[in-house]
Amino acid sequence: MKLKSLFAGFLVGILFLSSRADEGMWLPMLIGKNYEQMKKQGFRLTADDLYNINQASLKDAIVWFNGGCTGEIVSKQGMIFTNHHCGYDAIAANSTPADNILDNGWWAPTMAAEKPIKDMWVSILVRMEDVTGRVQEGLAGVPEKDRNKKLMEINKKIVEEVTKGTGYDARVSEYYRGNAYYLLIFEKFNDVRLVGTPPQSIGKFGGDTDNWVWPRHTGDFSVFRVYANKENKPAAFSNDNVPFVPKRHLPVSIKGVKNNDFAMVYGFPGRTNRYETSMGVKLAIEKVNPTIVKLRDIRLSNWKKQMDANVDHRLKLSSMYASVANYWKYFIGQTEQMQRLKVYDSKLATESKFQDWANGKKDYQALLADWKVAYGNWEKYAVHSTYMNEGIMASTSWARFPLQMKGLSEALTKNDAESIKKATDGLKKAAEAMKANAFRETSDRAILAAILVQFYKDIPADQHPAVLKEVFKSADNLEVQAEKYVNKLYSKSILVNADKAMAFLEKPNAKTLEADPAYKLINGFVSNFNDNISKYAMEFNAINGTNMRLFIKGMMEMNPNTMFYPDANSTLRITYGNVQDYQPRDGVTYNITTNIDGIAEKYKAGDDEFDLPKNFLELVKKRDFGPYAENGTIPVAFITNNDITGGNSGSPVINGDGELIGLAFDGNWEAMSGDIVFDKKYKRTICVDARYVLWCIEKLGNAPHIVKELDVRK
Ligand code: ARG
C-alpha cells in the first residue's frame, strides 16, 4: 500500500513468541530474536542473510522508493520492481495523448531508452544503530513543551556527526512513540529511470471498485532502474552514469506458492496506530473519517467529470485522482470494519486492564482520565481541522497561493524594498507553476463552491471565519449563493490566474492585494483557524503525544514477557508469516490465489476499470503462458497473513529460500481497520504473483530482454 498519510487514527500489538507470527513489523537489526520462530515457520536462510552490516544481506536488495513506497533490486544491474501505483505519477507525467504510456504501456527497448524521472529517488539502508541512550540523556530534565525542539537539535547533531565526509544520508527515527530511537544510515540515489510499465488496464485493473478488495486481479507492478556514477556511488542524473551494481539482488522464483508456505515482506511500512485509544476510535468513526470521505467525494466527482471530457486533462489529473480515491475508500473501509470488528469495545477492554494495573502507580494512574479530558476539549474542533486540510486548502489548484502572498503583503505594508523584491521573486515562481494547472479551472470552481457550502453546514457558526458572511448572506439557497460568490471571485481576483498574478507581481501594491477576494477568502479561513482553533489542536497534539509515549511504556511494564514491535514509522521492517486463505464471512472461504482466466471473467470492454489491452485476450485464448503456468493457467495474485500497511507497497514477498515470489500491493476489505488493530482472522496482504509479472513483461509486453536480465529460479 502506498503511503499517502494525512492522518491515521492507532492498538496494542502484542505478540507472544509461542504463537505463529503474522502480526508484527520487526526491526531488521533485532531480527535475531525472531529467527528461531521464522525457521520453524519455513525460513531456510541464516539470520545473517536477513540483516548484516559486514556482508551482503537481503536488506541490500530493498529500496525505500521515493518516500512513499518500497522497491526491490532484482538484477545485478540495479533493476527495481515496485508497484504500478508507486510508479503511477512518473508514468502519467511521461504520458501525452500522442505518446500515452499510461494507457498503452511501454518497455524500454534498450537501457539507453530508459526514461529519467525528475525528482525520483531511492535509498538503501547501510546500517542502523540504537541511539536511545544518547537521545534520552539529551532529553533528561527538558520540560515536555520543549521536548520536540530539543529532540530535533539532538538528532541533527547525531546525523551531522555520522554523515560527515561520507556522502551518506541519515536520520534518527522515533520508535514506540518516543520510547526508543534508532539512527538509520542510507545511501540515497537520485538517478532513477523508468524501464517499463504494463498498460494501466493491467496495472490498475479493477480500479477503485476492486481497490482494497480480495479476490483481486491487478497487475500492480512497474519497473525502474537505479543509476550510479562510475564508482558505483549516488550521483545526480548524468548520461555518464551507469547501472548501479547492488551488493545483493533478489532471485525471482517461478515455482509458485501453496497455502501455508512461508512468506515474509521486507519493506518500509509508513504508519500504524496500533495503540490508538477508544476515544480516538470513537472520534474517527463518528466525525473525522466521515468528514474526510465527504470532502474527498467532492473533489473526486468533479475531477472525474473533467477527466471524462478530455484525454489530456485525464492524463494530468489521473495520478492525483488515484491517490485521493485510494484513501477515500480506505477511510470508508476503516470506519466500516472498526464498527464490524467492535474495535471500540476491544480498546475499552485493553484500557480497563491497563487502569487496573495503573491504579496506585503515580506515573500512570491518571493517564487515561487526563487523556479523556483532552479528547473532550478537542472534539468540537477536530472536524474544523479536517475541513482545513481536506477541504479549504485542498479545494483548488491555487489554494496555497494567497497564503504565500502574506509575506508580500507584510513587506508592502512595511514598504521594505528588499523584502518586497525577495517575496515577489519567490511568488513569480509560484505563479509560473500555476500555469500548468490553469486547465483545472472548471473543477476548481465547482469544488470550491461545494466545499464552502459544506463547511457552512457542518461547522458550528461560532467557528466560522468572518469572511464566510461575504459568501452566504442567509441560510437559504446555499448552492446558488456559493456559485455566485465563486464566479465573482474568479472575475475579480488576480490570484487565480497566472497571467494576472504575474502582471500584479511586476507592480505589486498592498491595496489591491488586501482587497482581492481570493486573498481575503483563503487568509480569512487560515487566520480564523490560527487565531481560534489551532491552539486547541496544539494542546491536544502535545497531550496525545506525551500520553501515547507513557501509555506504551506502561503497557510494556505491565507485560514484561511480551515482545512488542513498534508502530510503523516509515523505516525498514520485516514481517513474516505464511501464505494463507481466509473466511471473509460464515460459509465462505477465499482461495489463496486468483488466476488469469478470472481476469477474462471480469473483463468489460470499454470500461474505465475492467477493460483490457487488445492482445491480452488473444494471448489468453492461445494459452501462450511460457514457463509461468500452473495447472494450465497463470496465477495472478495471492494472499499472505503478513502485517503490512501503506508504504509497504511494492515490497518484495520472499519465500523460505530468499527468493521473490511476488510484490505486496494492498490490504483486504475485511481488515481495513488493520492500521488500528491487527485482526489475525481477517488481515491479509494482497500480492501480485511474480509469474504474472514476468508473463506481462515477456509475453504481453513483448520485452523478453528484460526478463533475461533477471535471476529466475525454476
Ligand atoms: N490500495 C492500494 C494501496 O494503498 C493502492 C491502489 C491504487 N489504486 C487505486 N485504484 N486507487 O497500496
Residue 84 CB–ligand 1 contact under 6 Å: no
CA distance 714 to 705: 18
pLDDT at 13 over 70: no
Residue 646 CB–ligand 1 contact under 6 Å: yes
**How far apart, in Å, are the Cα atoms of 173 and each of 62, 131, 182?**
18, 10, 6
Residue bearing cell 505594508: 413
- Does residue 454 lie within any of the structural domains? no
pLDDT at 377 over 60: yes
Handedness of CA 42, 48, 53, 55 (dihedral sign): negative
pLDDT value of position 8: 35
Residue 208 CB–ligand 1 contact under 6 Å: yes
> 16 or 58: which carries more pLDDT confidence?
58
- Domain containing 690 equals 10-121+190-268+574-668+682-713
Residue 207 CB–ligand 1 contact under 6 Å: yes
pLDDT value of position 4: 55
Query: Residue 1 — pLDDT band, cuts 50, 70, 90?
Result: low
How many domains is the chain built from? 1
Strand residues in 2-121 grouped as ranges (E): 14-15, 62-65, 69-73, 79-82, 106-107, 115-116
pLDDT at 128 over 70: yes
Question: For residue 114, what is the DSSP state?
Answer: P
- Residues of 140-155 as b/e, b for ≥16 C-beta within 10 angstroms? eeeeeeebeeebeebb
Question: How far, in Å, from the CA of 530 to the mean position of ligand 1?
Answer: 34
Q: If you write DSSP's letter for every residue of 604-672 in order, what string do you get?
A: -TT-TTT---HHHHHHHHHT--GGG-BTTB-EEEEEE-----TT-TTPEEE-TTS-EEEEEEEE-GGGT
Question: How far, in Å, from the CA of 321 to the mean position of ligand 1?
Answer: 11
Q: What is the mean pLDDT of residues 549-567?
A: 96
Q: Which residues pair with 576 in a beta bridge?
A: 264
pLDDT value of position 11: 35
User: Which of 1, 70, 85, 668 best tests ligand 1's pocket when mutated (most atoms within 8 Å of CB)?
Assistant: 85
Residue 321 CB–ligand 1 contact under 6 Å: no
pLDDT at 18 over 70: no
Q: Is 355 helix (H, G, I), strand (E, B) or coil?
A: helix
- According to DSSP, the β-strands at 712-713 and 252-253 are parallel
- Does residue 69 lie within any of the structural domains? yes
Q: How many residues does the chain have?
A: 714
Up-side HSE of residue 308: CA atoms within 13 Å toward CB? 9
CA distance 1 to 647: 6
User: Which of 296, 609, 665 best tests ligand 1's pocket when mutated (most atoms within 8 Å of CB)?
Assistant: 665
- Residues of 403-413 as b/e, b for ≥16 C-beta within 10 angstroms? eebbbbbebbe
Q: Which ligand 1 atom is the nearest neighbour of the CA of 327?
A: 4
Question: How far, in Å, from the CA of 273 to the mean position of ligand 1?
Answer: 20
The C-alpha cell that represents 60 in the structure block: 541490500
Contacts of 106 (CB under 8 A, 6+ apart): 194, 196, 197
Residue 450 CB–ligand 1 contact under 6 Å: no
pLDDT value of position 142: 95
Q: Is 547 helix (H, G, I), strand (E, B) or coil?
A: helix
- Reported as a single tens digit per residue, the pLDDT across 469-525 is 999 999 999 999 999 999 999 999 999 999 999 999 999 999 999 999 999 999 999
pLDDT at 596 over 80: yes
Q: Is 212 helix (H, G, I), strand (E, B) or coil?
A: coil
Cα-flanking dihedrals φ and ψ of residue 50, to 5°?
-80, -50
Burial of 327 (0-12, 13-18, 19+ CB in 10 A): buried
Q: What is the mean pLDDT of residues 40-45?
A: 96
pLDDT > 70 in the chain, percent: 97
- Does residue 30 lie within any of the structural domains? yes
- Does residue 463 lie within any of the structural domains? no
* pTM, 2 dp: 0.96
Query: Residue 21 — pLDDT band, cuts 50, 70, 90?
Result: confident
Q: Whose CA is nearest to atom 3 of ligand 1?
A: 1
Q: Which ligand 1 atom is the nearest neighbour of the CA of 207?
A: 10
CA distance 199 to 620: 16
**How far apart, in Å, are the Cα atoms of 406 and each of 403, 590, 684?**
6, 56, 48
The amino acid at 458 = D
Residue 649 CB–ligand 1 contact under 6 Å: yes
Q: Which helix (H) or strand (E) holds 187?
A: strand 180-189
Cα-flanking dihedrals φ and ψ of residue 589, to 5°?
-120, 135
- Reported as a single tens digit per residue, the pLDDT across 236-252 is 999 999 999 999 999 99
pLDDT value of position 505: 96
Question: How far, in Å, from the CA of 70 to the mean position of ligand 1?
Answer: 14
Question: How far, in Å, from the CA of 331 to the mean position of ligand 1?
Answer: 13
Residue 665 CB–ligand 1 contact under 6 Å: yes
Helices 311-340 and 343-358 pack at an angle, to 10 degrees, of 50
The amino acid at 68 = G
pLDDT at 2 over 80: no
Q: Which residues pair with 512 in a beta bridge?
A: none
Question: How far, in Å, from the CA of 581 to the mean position of ligand 1?
Answer: 21
Question: How far, in Å, from the CA of 61 to the mean position of ligand 1?
Answer: 24
Q: Whose CA is nearest to atom 12 of ligand 1?
A: 1
CA distance 420 to 507: 10
Question: How far, in Å, from the CA of 154 to the mean position of ligand 1?
Answer: 37
CA distance 644 to 574: 9
pLDDT value of position 371: 98
Q: Which ligand 1 atom is the nearest neighbour of the CA of 210?
A: 10
Question: Which residue, 211, 7, 237, is CA-closest to 637?
Answer: 211
CA distance 568 to 128: 16
CB 542 within 8 A of CB 394: no
Residue 217 CB–ligand 1 contact under 6 Å: no
pLDDT value of position 705: 98
Catalytic residues: 85, 220, 649
Strand residues in 35-145 grouped as ranges (E): 62-65, 69-73, 79-82, 106-107, 115-116, 122-130
CA distance 496 to 506: 16
User: Which of 2, 328, 644 best tests ligand 1's pocket when mutated (most atoms within 8 Å of CB)?
Assistant: 2
- Reported as a single tens digit per residue, the pLDDT across 572-589 is 999 999 999 999 999 999
CB 45 within 8 A of CB 62: no
**How far apart, in Å, are the Cα atoms of 412 and each of 196, 496, 517, 518, 526?**
50, 20, 18, 18, 20
CA distance 264 to 237: 33
What's 86's domain CATH number?
2.40.10.120
CA distance 628 to 695: 7
Question: Which residue, 228, 395, 227, 155, is CA-closest to 296?
Answer: 395
Residue 608 CB–ligand 1 contact under 6 Å: no
Residue 682 CB–ligand 1 contact under 6 Å: no
Residue 593 CB–ligand 1 contact under 6 Å: no
Q: Which ligand 1 atom is the nearest neighbour of the CA of 208?
A: 10
The C-alpha cell that represents 134 in the structure block: 544518547
Q: Which helix (H) or strand (E) holds 340?
A: helix 311-340
pLDDT value of position 117: 98
- Does residue 698 lie within any of the structural domains? yes
- Does residue 457 lie within any of the structural domains? no
Residue 322 CB–ligand 1 contact under 6 Å: yes
Question: How far, in Å, from the CA of 8 to the mean position of ligand 1?
Answer: 16
pLDDT value of position 686: 98
CA distance 67 to 570: 8
- According to DSSP, the β-strands at 712-713 and 69-73 are unpaired
pLDDT at 660 over 70: yes
Contacts of 301 (CB under 8 A, 6+ apart): none
CB 663 within 8 A of CB 83: yes
CA distance 222 to 111: 16
Question: For residue 30, what is the DSSP state?
Answer: G
Q: What is the mean pLDDT of residues 552-562?
A: 96
Q: What is the mean pLDDT of residues 426-432?
A: 95
- Does residue 169 lie within any of the structural domains? no
Q: Whose CA is nearest to atom 4 of ligand 1?
A: 1
When the pLDDT of each residue in the chain is averaged and rounded to a whole number, the result is: 96
pLDDT at 541 over 80: yes
End-to-end CA separation in angstroms for the chain: 28
- What is the rounded radius of gyration, in angstroms, for the C-alpha atoms of the chain? 26
pLDDT value of position 10: 35
- Does residue 398 lie within any of the structural domains? no
